[in-house]
Structure 1
Amino acid sequence: MVEQCPVIRFSEIEAAVPTAPGLYEIVTDQGELLKVGISVNLRKRLIQHRQSRQSRLKLKDGGEWSNPSDVVSKQSILAKHLFFSGQVLGYDLQSEAGRQCYLEEKCHILITPTTTRDEARAIERVKEKSGAYRFGGKVRLSC
């Protein structure tokens, strides 16, 4: 039986998240499920999401920043999803600082450590199939 850990803020990652494999869920404080993902090192992966680096979003040759298909995420697909969400609750999600503030001030993380990546992947597949997560699959423009 996999046991879920308590709710964690993005600023608490270093102190509260293990370097073990597992599943993570990013949730707004209002309960909206944003993203589910897995990693062999939960702490490292969640730090990448928290950083939400602008420099890791790359534009394809000849591409346009307004087209999600033209932008490649080199570190955090969450950064790309947020980038194309526009403004949320007064946060400019097209800026690195805006994404970082939004994640810290309006979101939290649920983690489920597992013994293996495969175990985490099996749980992730079930959660992804639910369709409950706002950011899953291909990045799209928000209306």
Structure 2
Amino acid sequence: MIIDDDAALQLVVSLHRLLRSLRRAAPADGIQPTQTVLLSLLTESGPARIGELAARVPCSQPTATAAVSGLEATGLVLRESDPTDGRAARIVLTERGAQALVDAARAEAEVLAWRLGALGAEEARAVVALGPLLRRLAEAAHDGSDPARRA
């Protein structure tokens, strides 16, 4: 089955609106959205250079540098020498950073659970059942098959 671009656009807009509204309803103790993405990337992939993180967010390197500096100031990440190049630094997630990400996700999940309760039981089950499919779609961007990554 092929989905047309307009249907895909509406899904993207809906997902963005949902995520923004969850983040507004359950703020992550001063952690900015780009910082949340960086913490998530470090959780998924381990230590990385700022340039690598900027490319994966995606954002500019100065934006990534500022976001990392803020995370470093609050003890959520730290810099360590890159073992392959002593002149470079890698950004490493701290235990406190990992816990901050979990706490933010749990707060958003609580809001989402409350909102799902406003739906009918069948609708709520249908939304929850989409979780594994949405995860597969997110992971497709990292396996090399995503056309946006092939340019």
Fold-level similarity (TM above 0.5): no
Greater relative CO (CA pairs within 8 A, separation 6+) = 1
TM-score when scaled to structure 2?
A: 0.27
Larger radius of gyration: 2
Q: Which has the higher strand share?
A: 1
Q: Which has the higher helix share?
A: 2
